[in-house]
Amino acid sequence: MRLTALRNATLLIEFGGLTLLVDPMLGEPHSAPPVESTAPLLRNPLVELPVPAAGVVAAAGVVLVSHLHRDHFDEAAGSLIDPDVPLLCQPEDRNTLMSRGFAQVTPLEPAHEIDGVTVTRVAARHTLGSHEEALGPCSGFVLAAPGEPTLHVAGDCVWCPELAAVITEHRPELIVVNAGAARFLDGSPISMTTEDVIATARHAPAATVAAVHLEALNHCPMTRNELRRHLVAAGLDQRVRVPEDGELIT
């Protein structure tokens, strides 16, 4: 397995002979408005992709979409991705993706096998606070294939009993979590805080954890250095990776 953290939650994963593009946010810097009801009022994304978007979509054999928030599937992704590339998504998003012209959209109910790689949709909760219903459903994915480590892409999921249950059931060897401590002007965080990342790592003592979703959006105040400091203090800095944009994890 080779996993490249591109920007925010966008990943390019070589796994079992497939190249999978996860949650593509491919727009130019500052091409989208700030997330509604957040601060500071900076246009998104805050940073460039580390590689050209055209190269990202050219490499993708399959696209995984955890949910349709703009920072996980933006207008640029909708226009750049080949409409005949297979898309795997949660059932709630199938019709929307098909209406955008994609011809091969498979809702995961809960699993689908493609070229020997099994992708299973698993539970994710965007927040435990008052905004949960308004944010709508989101999902994580577990990837498995012969000769590969089990990979859990947790999606926009805070630490919660559902996430703990997924880890206990699937026993992933690598878990990718969306950090950043994103939040609206009121209410609870809507992506992982430092405490959430630490709790995830402690619940999966045999796994490597990679924390992404950092320094790319106006409403994500957590920095990589802040998270790394907390990981050092918790004694987890050797097992929790905080990749830079464009960094490869094998």
Q: What is the pLDDT of residues 129-175, one digit of tens each?
A: 999 999 999 999 999 999 999 999 999 999 999 999 999 999 999 99
Q: Which tens digit of pLDDT belongs to each residue from 66-85?
A: 999 999 999 999 999 999 99
- The vertex-81 CA angle with 111 and 21, nearest 5°, equals 45
Taking the CA atoms of residue 44, residue 49, residue 53 and residue 56 in that order, the dihedral angle to the nearest 10 degrees is -130
pLDDT in tens, 192-205: 999 999 999 999 99
Are 15 and 143 a contacting pair, CB within 8 Å?
A: yes
Q: What total number of domains does the chain contain? A: 1
- Mean predicted lDDT score pLDDT of the chain: 98
Domain membership of residue 6 as a residue range? 2-249
Q: What percent of the chain has pLDDT over 70?
A: 100
Q: What is the pLDDT, as a whole number, of residue 244?
A: 98
Closest CA to 163 of 126, 137, 189: 126
The pLDDT of residue 126: 98
Sign of CA dihedral 53, 218, 247, 168: negative
User: Is pTM, for the whole model, over 0.95?
Assistant: yes
Q: What is the CATH number of the domain that holds 16?
A: 3.60.15.10
The sign of the dihedral angle between the CA atoms of 86, 94, 211, 82 is positive
Whether residue 160 contacts residue 190, with contact meaning beta carbons closer than 8 Å, is answered with no
